[in-house]
Structure formats: structure tokens, C-alpha cells
Structure 1
Amino acid sequence: MPAVPVSRFQDGPERKRKPHAKSRKGCGNCKLRRVKCDETKPRCKRCAAYGVSCDYDGSRPSLDLAAQGSFQVDLFHQESSPSAPTSKPKPNHTPTCHTDNAMIPAPIPAPEKPPSVRKTVASMVNASLQAAPPASDSTSNVHQVHYWTFTEEHLDILKRFQERTVSTIGNSQTAPTYRDCISHLTFSHPFLMHMVLSLTLMHDAHLSTPHSEDLGAKYHHASLQHWNTATKLFKHVLSNPIPPSYRDAVWATGALLGAASFAYVEASKPEQAWPLKPSEPTDLDWLKLSEGKKAIWQVADPTRPDSIFHGIALKMTAIKVSDWVAESDLSFLPHHLKQLFGITPQSTPQNNVYCLPIIMLSRLHGLTPNSDNVVEFLLFMALIPPDFKNMLEIKDPRALLLLLWWFRKLEHGDPWWLIKRAKLEGRAVEMWLETYYGGEAGLTRMYASLGQMHHLGQQALPKRSPVGASQDASGRQGRDEGAATFPPSVESWIKDRSNAGCPVQ
């Protein structure tokens, strides 16, 4: 009688399956990469090998590559690996095989190609950006970047931001904080990431254009693409209640957006620039943005104790314009300039719209913009009163004359993002004043002949045929040969491009 087959799944020794318990106690970065974490504390072995910070309690963003502000991995090392180098076979133990009685060495299997750290890091950054939580509405994903992938090329751009571009924003004291903090925030805030990429590519375009216009145009186009994305995401964030965790990223984005807005000039020659070009709603957007930054400051409140910009913010708030006004003595102004700007012993920023801008410009006497003093020059843009900005919008010639002085100072400075607008629009303002008013001399004669002060809120000046100036057959204003001579001031400074001294001292 044949033996009945016995199923090995029913009888015989009991098969034991190795128990497996899925741990949920791994660190945030290992979960993000979907790899097993050994749960070593305070830093697991995988995070230590890849040079990234390790977080178990969720107090940091899901991905934190910036430990104290610098990348802890070599972003330019193409094929690095945290594992030990593969050992080579020893010559005395070379495997062989027999073929036709001949001893032929067997092929040695190529060592497994180590994973690219750069590719891994880029993948982690991309996953972190895609996993960024919505600012307010959990059903909305407009702030996310599913249609965009963070790549190794973007790692290179971030590296250039850290090592080069960030040092050109703000001054030498603020640059380290911007480098450390902004780089950290980009990994969990897509709107800031795109703004960082945009500004860095804009810097690339500035550096490349003199050597290769095609390469400069390529960088410029890529910069505008990231700027467009950053703006859309940023507007969405600002249109909803801002979570506390977003406040520092919001302020950082506002600061970079201000620099990018000043740096971007669409015109390529003065005739195409403001104020010579036809008026558009976007005119002076770079200046109007300063008001928007004040609103962002109030929302983000970088002076709060838990802000990573706390130290910088406190220094900025320590500046008191009232002290400048109290300490400033405008008696040094030549008589014709006092008359031109309506300066009297009773003049204050409250009753004379030109008073505070003149005070701020006089503080810049003898200075050339660089990384140490650039904030002093930016205060002119940030602190000039709204009424003075309105005078610029209606192209008041006296306001334009003061703006021209500021532009000329910036033109000779170091910060790259200030130079192009200062040159183009500065020359356009100069041409506009010469064409319609005969420059400073024509303005001075006109106000002297009027015999009255033009205070805040009065009607804008006529744009044609000012009193005291003649016109030639072409319609261009000429100089009155019989006019009195005036001490050298704004006009002589405008004509001498190499002289960046203060025109009112």
C-alpha cells in the first residue's frame, strides 16, 4: 500500500517565522527617505553617514541639511559614498577558470557603484518641499510644487547663494545670519526656495552678461521663472492667516524680493526707462515695495524673541529718525538751494516734504556703498515719507533732483543689485530734467523768479518753458545768458560723473 503523501504544511516540525515589529520611532530624515533607521540617539548612523542632522522629536523641519548654516555634505562631489572603500582582490587569489586546458583569469565582478550623495540630498530636499504643509487651507496645494522637481543643479545654485550671493544682501554683519537662517528655511518653504534660486540666478546673469550675453540671457530667463513661481506661492501665503512657523520665512522672502525688484530693470537704455518712457502702473514698483515690506515686518515681527532674525531686527529698530532730525543742521545749504527746496529755519519733515530726504542724503556725504555701509543707503528708500514718493510719481523736478543724487551715489558702489537701475534710471532722470527744466540751474532760476516757496500738497510744477529759461528752434531749453552765476552744487556734480560727493555740502 503506497504511502499517503504528507503535506509539509500540515505535519512535521512546526515552521517558525521570524517575528518583525515595524518601528515608528525612527528619525525624521530616515522616514523621509523611507529607509530603516537604527534609532541610535542622539544621531542615527545613516544621518551621520550622509552628514545631515538627525531629529526624533519633530522639533525641526523634516529635512535639515544646514547645521549652523552650512551644508554638511560635499555638494560637488559626484560619486562619494559614506561606506568604506571597496577593497581590491589580492593578486595571489585571482579566480581562474579552465578553457581548452589553458588557465584564463575569470572576470572580476565590478564593485557596486556607490550612490551619489548629491542625488540623494537633492531627492531629500525635493521630498521635503513636496511635503511642506499648507499655510492654512489643507485642501489647497497651490503652495506646493508638484510640477517642479528639485535637482542636483538646484543644489549648485543654493551653494552659490551661500558662498557668494548672500554676502551681497544687507551688510557684513547681517550676511552670516542670512546665510545660516535663510538656507535652513528654504527646505520647508517652497516660496522662499524659489525666491533664493531666482535672486542667485539674477546674480549669475549680472556676472555672466559682460562675458557672454547668451549665457546671461539664459540665467536671466531661469531667474524670472523662479521669481514668477515664488510670487504666486508667496501671494497665496499672505492671503491667508500666517502660521507662526511661517513668519521667519515670510520675512526672509520679503527681504530677498526687495533686492530682486530693485535689481530687475526691463529697459536696456535710458530712453526706455522711467521717467522718460510712457507712464505705466508698474512705475516705481521697486519703491512702492518698501511700503509692502513694512507690512510684512508687522506680520512676521522678526523682533519677537523666538525669531531667528531677532538680533538683526533689534539693530534695525534701534535706528531713530527723530535723532537725525534733531541733530541735523541745514544752515550749511547755499542760499539758492534753500530757496530751491523751501528750506527755512522753521522747516521740519512735517511742513516740508524735501526736508527729511535732504537730511538723509547729507548723512551719506563722503560714503561709497559697500557691504559695510549699504544699509545707510537703503534707509533712504525705506524711510522717505509717502508724500515724497507721491512727488516722485508726479515727476516733481525737485524730488527727481534728490533722487538723481542718490542714484549717482549707488552707481559707484559695490552691491551688484543696485548698479543697473542707478545707472539707467539715473541717466533718464538727468535727461528729463535737462529737457524740461534746463537742469538745476533752470530750476533755481525758476523758483527764484517765482519768489515763493512750494510746500507739501501744492500743485505740481509745469513741465514746459520754465521762467528764466529760453528755448531754441528745436524746442529744447537753453540757458539765459543774463542769469546770475550760482555756487557749484548739484549741477556741477551731475556733469562730473567721477565726483560722487554730496551736492548739498
Structure 2
Amino acid sequence: MTSTDSREAREGPGKTRRRSRFGCRNCKLRKLKCDESKPQCKRCSSFGVVCNFLTSTTPDLQPIPADSRRSWMVRGTAAAAGLQPPLSNAIWTSDASTLFQLNTRCQDFITRYLGHSLITPNDPNMGQVNRKLLELAFTHPYLMHASLAVSLTYDRHLNSPSDSHRTLEECYHWSQSTILFNQKLREHIEPNERDPIWGTAAALVILTFSSPNARTPEESWPLNPSPSSYLDWVHMNKGKMSLWNIVNPLRSDSIFHVMAGAFAYVHSPLPEGGTEGIPPALAALCGITDDSTAETNPYFHAAHAVAQILEIEDSEVTMGPVQMFMRCIQGGFEGLLRDRDPVALVLLYLWYRKAGRCIWWIGLRARVECPAIWMYLRRYHGGDDSVMELLPDGGKFLMN
């Protein structure tokens, strides 16, 4: 795996790369010379996609079915866990200033994951978005690094013990994406960069959320109140939302336009007053009455957002209701959370318990932070029946 800021490292000084006039669309998309082999060019065979040289009906970058291609990743060996050497048949992602050569393991993750919906599995809209993001990743290295880091994290979620920590590869791609992304945000943003910027920002939120510093509840916030444990994902999500007006993911030419329904749910107005929809025990704990509003009660919006997601079947939970609660972590309620206020912690616990069962990257943090909240509340507020009544299972929701 190599990275450099010079195009000469790829093409050699004074040399230009000749492209085939009649090559497959996959190679043209990836800015590679196609050898025009039939029925499958060598570039597509190496990359693990179906060559579309001879047909106009085969989608771009269509993965070869897993059972009909050899596995590139050696599982269960030290080599699989390390950074493998690059391919001699180089595959690049590059923009005007940065090059990155994908190794065999990177290609495997792209083929297996990046054409699918990783944020919420089985979401057809997200699957469509991710396939288009894959195409953009070849010309925006910060997006490629972010996508690879998310794929590696998802693979760890599927195939590693529940207490596994970030791998070297995850950290490498996460770090590279952050560096390149920060550089991009300091520059003028061109219209064609808006979608990759929003996709990268979303990926960085997932990486931050799914990577708590703690391995056990005892090491986790709120039991451990060290600054490094303080709701770092809240800051990252706010950073992403600060880009909304710049990139406008709902514009008609955006690849994220198909997510308009989810975005509309996130930004839909919450009730202006009252307790309707909130379970009576939760309303009583939060001090919410028929006369309450967001101006008079700091828990008001968060309680309504939690109540909405609790009403949804696990199989039907999407990012809309999940992010509605995230949107409510601001102002007075955010301050109460940081002060480890017991009522605010109960609301966060209930959200973790529901969202963590349904969204894998929330579950990776909820595995340690949800039990930590329960332990903290039992230790310091165990005598408050109204608090403990809403914490029936000891935070072990992922073991049920």
C-alpha cells in the first residue's frame, strides 16, 4: 500500500498513460487502460467485477458473485491481519494532488461491502447511494479512505469478538481520511465535490460512534468521566450537520436525494407541548405534563424523540427516527448529559437500548456505554424507584 502526492510516482517522469479508446466502462471509470480481453478484461478480473466491455446491460462495477471468484483475503492468518503489499497490477484512487494505491485486501472490501448498504443493512436507497459513492471514491481519496475504514469496522462487527478493538488498518484509513478531508474543507468546494464531502462526513460520524475508547463498561463514560470519553460522537455529528447548507444533500442532482424521506423525518417538527406519545412513567420521570413545552422543560424534545423510536418495531427502525434523538442533544439537554444528570442518562439509555439493537455501528458503542449508564445509575441513584423502574435489564440488551 503506497501513497504519494506526485503523479510521477504512478506514471514516471515525462510519461503519460495511453488509454484504450474501446475499453470497458469499468476501466474508463477507474481511469485505467483496458487490455480489451474477452470475455473478461484482466483489470476487471483482478478487481473482482464483471467486465462490461461486450455488453451495455451489465452495471458499472458489478461484483463477481462470491461463489464464482477466488477469495483474495487469507482468513485466520497473521497476513490477513496486517497491511498486505500492493498489487503489481496497480489500482489507484486519485485527485489533483493525492494518489492512493489499493492493495488486495482493500479491493476485497470494496467488492464485498461498498456496493451495499452499510449504514442500515437492507436499505435499498442506501445501497443505491453507496454504489454511487464507490464511483466517486476513485477520484476523491478522502472518501475512499473513509469508505474502507467503515468497511473494515463493519467486518470487525461481523467477524470478531464483541470486545474487539480498532485494527491497524481501520486506524490508518480513518487517519488518512481525516487528514485529506480537513485539507479539502480548507479549500474552495467545487459543485462536483459536494456529494463526496457529505458521504465522507457521514462515514466519519459512523467511525467515531462505533469506536469508543473503552473496552469494558467500567472504563466507559459515564462511570469514567475523563474528557476523552465525553460524547465525542455528538461533536462529530454536529460537524457533519454544519455542512448541510454547503453541500445541500437534498438538491435534485445529489446522489442523496433518494434519502429525502429519512432527512424529512430527522427535521420534522416535534410536538410543541404535552405528553401525548410518551409512556406515563417516562413523562413522570422527566416532569413533563400537559402544559410542558421545550421552553419550560429541558427533557421535552429528547423524551418525545425517544418515545417515537420506542414505538417502532426493531425490524422497521431506520436512520430517520434514530437521528431525530441525536438532533435533540443540544442546549440544556446536552449540558445535563455532560453533567451525568440521571434523567438525561435514562433517556440516552433507552435510545441506546433500541437503536443499538437495530443499527450495528450504534451497537458497537452501546455494548459498553449502555451497561455503564445502568451501573452508574444503580450506584449513585439506586434509591430512586422512578429511575430504576425504567432500567429493567441491567443494560444487557445485546445479550438477549
- Name the TM-score, length of structure 1 as normaliser: 0.60
Q: Distance in 1 between matches of 2:124 and 2:333?
A: 30
Q: Distance in 2 between matches of 1:236 and 1:427?
A: 38
Report the Cα offset of residue 250 of structure 1. 0.6
Q: Distance in 2 between matches of 1:439 and 1:369?
A: 31
Corresponding position of 1:158? 110
Write the mapping of 1:330-369 to structure 2, written as runs, cut at 5 A.
333-334=280-281, 338=283, 340-369=285-314
Amino acid at match of 1:161: Y
Q: Secondary structure at the match of 2:214?
A: coil
Classify 1:322/1:188 alpha carbon distance in 2 versus 1 (closer, same or farther; 3 Å): same
Q: Does 1:431 align with 2:375?
A: yes
Corresponding position of 1:301? 248
1:435-476 Cα shifts (integer Å, max 9, x gaps): 2222542xx5xxxxxxxxxxxxxxxxxxxxxxxxxxxxxxxx
Q: Distance in 2 between matches of 1:32 and 1:496?
A: 54
Q: Distance in 2 between matches of 1:327 and 1:35?
A: 64
Contact persistence 1:171–1:372 (CA under 8 A): no
Contact persistence 1:276–1:428 (CA under 8 A): yes
Identity of aligned residues (%): 26
Q: Match for 1:178 among 129, 132, 152?
A: 129
Q: Secondary structure at the match of 1:160?
A: helix
Contact persistence 2:353–2:370 (CA under 8 A): yes
Report the Cα offset of residue 327 of structure 1. 8.8
Report the Cα offset of residue 263 of structure 1. 0.9
Report the Cα offset of residue 408 of structure 1. 2.0
Write the mapping of 1:454-493 to structure 2, written as runs, cut at 5 A.
491-493=388-390
Contact persistence 1:191–1:253 (CA under 8 A): yes
Q: Does 1:193 align with 2:144?
A: yes
Report the Cα offset of residue 77 of structure 1. 4.3
Q: Distance in 2 between matches of 1:419 and 1:377?
A: 12
Corresponding position of 2:365? 421
Contact persistence 1:354–1:399 (CA under 8 A): yes
Q: Does 1:236 align with 2:183?
A: yes
Q: Distance in 2 between matches of 1:332 and 1:382?
A: 21
Q: Distance in 1 between matches of 2:64 and 2:158?
A: 27
Q: Distance in 1 between matches of 2:278 and 2:177?
A: 48
Report the Cα offset of residue 34 of structure 1. 5.4
Report the Cα offset of residue 274 of structure 1. 0.5
Aligned CA-pair RMSD: 3.8
Corresponding position of 1:286? 233
1:321-360 Cα shifts (integer Å, max 9, x gaps): 32544796268625xx555423233211122110111111
Report the Cα offset of residue 190 of structure 1. 0.3
Q: Does 1:71 align with 2:69?
A: no
Q: Distance in 2 between matches of 1:498 and 1:431?
A: 8
Question: Structure 2 regions of 5+ residues with no counterpart?
Answer: 1-17, 72-85
Q: Distance in 1 between matches of 2:331 and 2:58?
A: 42
Corresponding position of 2:174? 227
Classify 1:240/1:46 alpha carbon distance in 2 versus 1 (closer, same or farther; 3 Å): same
Report the Cα offset of residue 290 of structure 1. 1.8
Contact persistence 1:287–1:381 (CA under 8 A): yes
Q: Distance in 1 between matches of 2:278 and 2:231?
A: 32
Report the Cα offset of residue 270 of structure 1. 0.9
- Name the TM-score, length of structure 2 as normaliser: 0.74
Amino acid at match of 1:155: Q
Report the Cα offset of residue 74 of structure 1. 7.3
Report the Cα offset of residue 264 of structure 1. 0.7
Q: Secondary structure at the match of 1:276?
A: coil
Contact persistence 1:172–1:372 (CA under 8 A): no
Question: Structure 1 regions of 5+ residues with no counterpart?
Answer: 1-22, 38-44, 55-65, 80-117, 134-140, 445-489, 501-505
Contact persistence 2:249–2:257 (CA under 8 A): yes
Report the Cα offset of residue 284 of structure 1. 0.5
Corresponding position of 2:216? 269
1:118-163 Cα shifts (integer Å, max 9, x gaps): 969x62x41xx23x12xxxxxxx4xx14xx5212321101012136
Larger mean Cα displacement after TM superposition, 267-276 or 280-289: 280-289
Q: Distance in 2 between matches of 1:320 and 1:24?
A: 46
Q: Distance in 1 between matches of 2:289 and 2:274?
A: 16
Q: Secondary structure at the match of 1:309?
A: helix
